[in-house]
Amino acid sequence: MTLRLGRHEFADDATLMMAIVNRTPDSFYDRGATWAEDKAFERVAQVVEQGAEIVDIGGIKAAPGAEIGPEEEMSRVVDFVARVRAAYPSLVISVDTWRASVGRAVCEAGADVLNDAWGGADPELVDAAAEHGAAIVCTHTGGATPRTRPYRVEYDDVVAAAIADTVAYAERAVAAGVSKESVVIDPAHDFGKNTFHSLELTRRLGEMVATGWPVLVSLSNKDFVGETLDLPVGERLTGTLAATAVCALAGARIYRVHEVVETRQVVDMVASIAGRRPPARAIRGLQ
């Protein structure tokens, strides 16, 4: 199925890098390194140079913290989206938000994708996407309240729950008027889940891919990697790439990442092993 992200289309075998750009002073990974607008813009330039097809701009960290209302969130992302749109007309711009009011404002500023990390907490977000011809990412959080950490969450079958909820969200988005080619599902590792849940979702990601909806994975430096290997945030790249390889073999389409170059190499290598992509250069033993 052709993937349409706003004004951009991608073939059904394309794998895409979604680079994270945080407009927050307290993000878990970069600790506010791109909080200043010019620093965030430099990050955009860097990841575009590295080959990212998508940037995902966020104005609120996912973890608990200071209350950030919709007006403050918009002040962090709307004008920045407009600046990036003007500078990079062929770049896919995604905004990480669960609020419909923010979604409408960023789409008017040029965003192509609304990345709802909180599983439809604001039911009107699909309407905002439909009104502006934007794509939407439908995540599974088990009904978690935005910006809360999971506590003793239980599922009879976490993969079945993730499939049921994301597919239902996807179908609701289409019913609201979002193009079917513009809907992506995401198991949302760590969100409303413990480490065992996230590992199982990784191991069984092929079941989500088998639904036919394009699958996005956001694995980069997450807690399930850190807990599995007992490593702090700054030392999780190798574990992240191992999880990425498993998801790539299963057929994930979009990878939300901090490290673009390393992730692209892993995804391309796996695609070639799987027979989906020819080697970039193959002369050994042929000449």
For the annotated catalytic residues, the residue numbers are: 222, 256
**C-beta of residue 56 within 8 angstroms of C-beta of residue 94:** yes
Reading the block at residue 42, the tokens are 């430099």
Q: Please give, one letter per residue, the 3-state secondary structure of 118-169.
A: CCCCCCCHHHHHHHHCCEEEEECCCCCCCCCCCCCCCCCCHHHHHHHHHHHH
Distances (CA, A) of 209 to 12, 82, 206, 286: 13, 33, 5, 36
Reading the block at residue 251, the tokens are 């057929």
SS3 content of the chain, % helix, strand, coil (to 5): 45, 15, 40
In whole angstroms, what is the distance from residue 194 CA to residue 72 CA? 30
Phi, then psi, of 31 in degrees rounded to 5: 55, 40
Sheet holding 16-22, edge to edge: 183-186, 135-139, 113-116, 92-96, 54-58, 16-22, 254-257, 216-218
Burial annotation 269-282 (CB, 10 A radius, 16+ → b, else e): ebbeeeeeeeeeee
